Chain A
Amino acid sequence: MRARLIPMLAQRLGLALVTLLLLSMVVFAGAQLLPGNVGRAILGPLADPVAVAALNHKLGTDLPVPEQYWIWISHFVTGNMGISYTYRTPVAPFVIAALLNSLKLAAVAFVIVVPLSIAGGVYAAMHARTWIDKTISIAGLSMTVIPEFVSSIILILILGIWLRWLPITATAPRHADVLDQIDHLILPALPLVFILFGYIARMARAGTIDALDADYTRTATLKGLPPGVVIRRHVLRNALLPTITVVATQVGYLVGGLVIVETLFRYQGIGSLILTAARAKDFPMLEGGILTIGIVYVLVTMLADIALVMLNPRLRDGGR
């Protein structure tokens, strides 16, 4: 059994690398497609064409595209993401700081949403087709379809301004302790919780209903096991496998899709970093940010795949 795990891991890792390579090409090509001359964009419309050409030469943007790509990617793998056009300093520290901030926000959202939505979905499944189930399902669906900018504003108004329960900015004061930082992150995390709750809960509910109706659950009940053991040992183990995959793909969404929330709450995350870089045509920053999100996404998906394989004996054997 174990022997099959290693080639499987190697294969997943290889695929992940290929995915990232393709992503880097797409990102780089995309940046090339944006109109405008880089030197001109930095120096402004009134600058001397000789200075523009000199800058282009210094930045390497007058080289053929494949060569530019090669220089960029070969530096990238060593952790050098290039020099920001806007700040004239290396990109990497900006990207890493922003990524850490985003991961903090995402982690808070996850810690709230995952237990809540799985519990909600399982509870709904155990009371399938009753008013409890309908309430949970409809509430989840309604929350999912409200865009973050609408729910964010409503939440700011109610929890932040009217009730004054939570601070309305995401960034804690400079030397704040961990609890204070978390306190600041709860309100921005809530719109994300809203979006994800319905989705994860629905997967958990569907998986649980399938497992509850499965013959093996009936076998367990007919053995005379107490209901708690039947649910824990026989139902949940099988019911939550598909949910793990869903949760993992949402990590990608959370890290990359935070632009709106980060902007609304004025939070220095990777979403707002990319937005600012795109506005300023700061290509190294933009490319570095996007590729970093890609790496996080691929890594998490791979970890989820591995977790799924470890939990599911049929996949562990390489299937039949």
Chain B
Amino acid sequence: MSSTALRQPIEPAPRAQPTPALDIENLDVVYRTRGRDMQVLRGISFSIAPGESYGLVGESGCGKSTAALAALSALPRNGFVRGGSVRVAGQTLASLDATALRRLRAEQISMVYQDAGRALNPSLTIFRQMAEVFELLAQPADRAADLRALCTTMLNRVQISSPDRVLDAYPHQLSGGMLQRVIIAMALAKEPSLLVLDEPTTALDATVEAEVLDLVATLRREFSTAILFISHNIGVIERMCDRVGVLYAGSLVETGPTAQLLRRPMHPYTMRLLRCLPTPGRSKATARLDTIKGFLPPPGAIIPGCVFADRCDLADTICHTTPPPEHTIATHASRCHHWQRATEQPLTATETPIPTANHSHDIVLRGTNISKTFQIGTRSLHAVTDVSFSLREGETLGIVGESGSGKTTLARLLLGLLNPDPGSIIELAGQPAAGHAAARSQDQQKALQIVFQNPDSALNRSHTVRHLIGRALARLAGLSGATRTARLTELIHAVRLTDRHLGMRPRQLSGGLKQRVAIARAFAGNPKIVICDEPTSALDVSVQAAILNLLADLQARENTSYVFISHDLGVVRYLSDRIAVLYLGRIMEIGPAEAVFEGPHHPYTEALLSSIPTPFNESNTTQTTRIRLHGDIPSALNPPTGCVFHTRCPRKLGPICETTEPAPETINDHTIACHIPRNQLGKRP
């Protein structure tokens, strides 16, 4: 078992008899840009048996989506297959003519991609678009009534309770989760032999994601469809896939059964990827997150040896000169010269834990009964209702909740970008702050800064990094001349950028580097509080890890407080000292991070926690049962009476939940608003 079996290329691996649903062999794909071929897939091979689920993981730019599109012969105009073959249900795609390819697409393969809102035609009804799928099948249903019945049945199968309303709707009238279900229904309507899912839940909230994943898992059993599942989220892959392939720079560096591959990686890249994750139990107080040094090689780079050699700690001469052969143990294969040592590599981040911030007891920000009502015509939308909290110096308050829970509105209220309702009190360092930023004192304005989710839209693309940060220094810190230059250099180094970056413009920087610029700009005026609104959700895990480390370091150094907004509970747990759980603009639960994560929990928090897909780590082997929240978050225009969560609550007591709003109860600084007595509330292991 421990001996190395070098796989002979001539001898095919023993496979089950039936034809694979998808069989990719030695596939080379290039993108042609300005007359040059850029190689994006480098001889990848894998196959998926009927009914099997195969995952592809890797960071953005590794070629995951290209592999998916190649499997459907749907590469972009400038993409070409330069070698190897793709067979779907036994048919070689390259040998099919246009009609045969259409037949294959109409009957055998389906694809679901990330943004459901864009995957549907905005000017046709759902019915028209779904009906097309049935019209193309071998025995077309001719009459409109038949088509409608078929569509209704299919929507019922994806658990849409009011199919008629959905069929007559246009895409923009439905929520993201609903649209993704419609797309899945359309994809499965033809009962395909292969279903390709490209990041199908990345754009969805945690609870909706869990629901969609459950649905795919159920349907997969019902339809016995083979699945190619593409995701950058290892937790999702772990939950959904039998086998998994790790893609790096267009090469399949490791393949194997999911559980085995994630628990005992045989490739340094896989190992590094797993270490980047803010997994349960990790927090800024205990350990720095690991990162991957360096950058992905640019597309089209000519790599003589191992694709990962430049970023690998185990790399030696042979790695830079000779492509590693595939080492296989049973069904687990790795392309690494040093595969036996893959798990032994040292941590890249310094072993020293992050020095902890000096928690004083000074409260830097206090909100009391903050509410915000928007008037929409004659109706009022209660975006934020009676939110109270306090934030101490050097502390992080994490804010979690689904989209529509009021997270971002709260951030805008704190910043003074929106005027709160009368009666709301925001205090900065003990001094009441005006609702509108323009009415606040200059010190108060400087004290609060923000880092946005999308640095692309937050940074003026026509200015250089020097100008962007320099201007912030001039305006917020009032610096000029030599002192400004000195502080600029200091800031740049603090966010781990180099002087080389100063002359660059945002478009020349990667997402992670842009976010560093945005962070440097936020810190320019020595703010007391920085509001981070989903700062890492657009970034890859390795870049996310680096940004989280950076935020933790800056906090320790400057004693800054954070209000950290995210839908990713792992990320919130890593950085937060206190956590507030928001639902429909109200705080359901607030308390110290450990207490919120350990329980007892508010039923909503419990459901959120249960919906995080957790990748394997050494200790965690038991999968806890998931709590499903049904339906979408209700509209804030017409919030439910009583406890606002009662419409979706799995532990609803009865009429009291519908009539009486529960009073928040605080025990040991841990506040929960629920009618269920504290000792009967759930606790997750």
Contacts of B72 in A (CB 8 A): 222
Q: Which partner residue on chain B sits nearest A212 by CB separation?
A: B77
By the criterion CB–CB under 8 Å, are B136 and A214 in contact? Answer: no
- Contact mask B106-148 → A, CB, 8 Å, 1/0? 1101110101001111111000000011001000000000000
Nearest chain A CB to B55's CB is how many angstroms away? Answer: 21
By the criterion CB–CB under 8 Å, are A237 and B123 in contact? Answer: yes
Nearest chain A CB to B406's CB is how many angstroms away? Answer: 18
Is there a chain B Cβ closer than 8 Å to A218's Cβ? yes
Is there a chain A Cβ closer than 8 Å to B172's Cβ? yes
Q: Which of B259-304 contact A (CB under 8 A)?
A: none
By the criterion CB–CB under 8 Å, are B133 and A223 in contact? Answer: yes
Cα–Cα, bound, A221→B121 (Å):
12
Is there a chain A Cβ closer than 8 Å to B80's Cβ? no
By the criterion CB–CB under 8 Å, are B132 and A220 in contact? Answer: yes
Q: Count the A-B residue pairs with Cβ separation under 8 angstroms: how many? A: 70
Contacts of B46 in A (CB 8 A): none
Contacts of B123 in A (CB 8 A): 237-238, 241, 311-313
Is there a chain A Cβ closer than 8 Å to B493's Cβ? no
By the criterion CB–CB under 8 Å, are B118 and A221 in contact? Answer: no
Evaluate whether A214 and B172 lie within 8 angstroms (CB atoms) in the complex, with A223-B105, A233-B124, A237-B123 already known. no
Is there a chain A Cβ closer than 8 Å to B683's Cβ? no
Is there a chain A Cβ closer than 8 Å to B156's Cβ? no
Is there a chain A Cβ closer than 8 Å to B104's Cβ? yes
Cα–Cα, bound, A215→B133 (Å):
17
Cα–Cα, bound, A194→B106 (Å):
44
Is there a chain A Cβ closer than 8 Å to B359's Cβ? no
Is there a chain A Cβ closer than 8 Å to B103's Cβ? yes
Contacts of B113 in A (CB 8 A): 215
Cα–Cα, bound, A221→B110 (Å):
11
By the criterion CB–CB under 8 Å, are A224 and B121 in contact? Answer: no
Q: Which of A302-319 contact B (CB under 8 A)?
A: 311-314, 317
Cα–Cα, bound, A182→B570 (Å):
73
By the criterion CB–CB under 8 Å, are B170 and A314 in contact? Answer: yes
Q: Which of B446-474 contact A (CB under 8 A)?
A: none
Evaluate whether A320 and B172 lie within 8 angstroms (CB atoms) in the complex, with A222-B111, A237-B123, A313-B123 already known. yes
Q: Which of B62-86 contact A (CB under 8 A)?
A: 72, 74, 77
- Contact mask A103-138 → B, CB, 8 Å, 1/0? 000000000000000000000000010000000000
Count residues of B near A (Cβ-Cβ below 8 Å). 29
Contacts of A241 in B (CB 8 A): 123
Evaluate whether A226 and B102 lie within 8 angstroms (CB atoms) in the complex, with A313-B170, A314-B172 already known. yes
Is there a chain A Cβ closer than 8 Å to B508's Cβ? no
Q: Which partner residue on chain B sits nearest A217 by CB separation?
A: B121
Cα–Cα, bound, A89→B146 (Å):
69
Is there a chain B Cβ closer than 8 Å to A51's Cβ? no
Cα–Cα, bound, A233→B136 (Å):
15
Cα–Cα, bound, A233→B121 (Å):
9
Is there a chain B Cβ closer than 8 Å to A225's Cβ? yes
By the criterion CB–CB under 8 Å, are A313 and B172 in contact? Answer: yes
Cα–Cα, bound, A214→B115 (Å):
11
Evaluate whether A234 and B102 lie within 8 angstroms (CB atoms) in the complex, with A221-B74, A314-B172 already known. no
By the criterion CB–CB under 8 Å, are A220 and B121 in contact? Answer: yes
Contacts of B133 in A (CB 8 A): 223
Is there a chain A Cβ closer than 8 Å to B173's Cβ? yes
Nearest chain B CB to A77's CB is how many angstroms away? Answer: 33
Contacts of A215 in B (CB 8 A): 113, 115, 118-119
Contacts of B173 in A (CB 8 A): 317
Contacts of B109 in A (CB 8 A): 222
By the criterion CB–CB under 8 Å, are A313 and B103 in contact? Answer: no
Residue in A222, A225, A313 whose CB lies within 8 Å of B122: A313
Contacts of A221 in B (CB 8 A): 74, 105
Is there a chain B Cβ closer than 8 Å to A219's Cβ? yes
Is there a chain B Cβ closer than 8 Å to A76's Cβ? no
Contacts of A237 in B (CB 8 A): 121, 123-124
Nearest chain B CB to A3's CB is how many angstroms away? Answer: 13
Q: Which partner residue on chain A sits nearest B125 by CB separation?
A: A313
Contacts of B102 in A (CB 8 A): 224-226
Cα–Cα, bound, A224→B122 (Å):
19
Contacts of B122 in A (CB 8 A): 216, 238, 312-314
Cα–Cα, bound, A234→B136 (Å):
16
Q: Which partner residue on chain B sits nearest A226 by CB separation?
A: B102
By the criterion CB–CB under 8 Å, are A216 and B121 in contact? Answer: yes
Nearest chain B CB to A24's CB is how many angstroms away? Answer: 33
Nearest chain A CB to B121's CB is how many angstroms away? Answer: 4
Nearest chain A CB to B584's CB is how many angstroms away? Answer: 19
By the criterion CB–CB under 8 Å, are B110 and A222 in contact? Answer: yes
Cα–Cα, bound, A224→B77 (Å):
18
Residue in B110, B120, B136, B172 whose CB lies within 8 Å of A216: B120
Q: Which partner residue on chain A sits nearest B72 by CB separation?
A: A222
Residue in A216, A233, A238, A317 whose CB lies within 8 Å of B119: A216
Q: Which of A203-254 contact B (CB under 8 A)?
A: 214-216, 218-226, 233-234, 237-238, 241
Contacts of A238 in B (CB 8 A): 121-123
Contacts of A224 in B (CB 8 A): 102-107, 136
Q: Which partner residue on chain B sits nearest A235 by CB separation?
A: B121
Q: Which of A276-320 contact B (CB under 8 A)?
A: 311-314, 317, 320
Nearest chain A CB to B68's CB is how many angstroms away? Answer: 11
Nearest chain A CB to B367's CB is how many angstroms away? Answer: 30
Contacts of A311 in B (CB 8 A): 123
Nearest chain A CB to B622's CB is how many angstroms away? Answer: 39
Nearest chain A CB to B552's CB is how many angstroms away? Answer: 37
Contacts of B136 in A (CB 8 A): 223-225
Q: Which partner residue on chain B sits nearest A229 by CB separation?
A: B132
Residue in A218, A225, A312, A320 whose CB lies within 8 Å of B132: A225
**13 sampled A-B residue pairs with Cβ under 8 A:** A215-B119, A218-B74, A220-B132, A222-B110, A222-B111, A223-B133, A223-B136, A223-B186, A224-B136, A225-B102, A225-B132, A237-B123, A241-B123
11 further contact pairs, Cβ within 8 A, besides A219-B183, A224-B106: A128-B77, A214-B118, A220-B132, A224-B104, A224-B107, A226-B102, A237-B121, A238-B121, A238-B123, A241-B123, A320-B172
Chain B residues within CB distance 8 Å of chain A: 72, 74, 77, 102-107, 109-111, 113, 115, 118-124, 132-133, 136, 170, 172-173, 183, 186
Which 6 residue pairs across A and B have the least CB separation, nearest first?
A: A224-B106, A224-B105, A313-B170, A215-B118, A216-B121, A224-B102
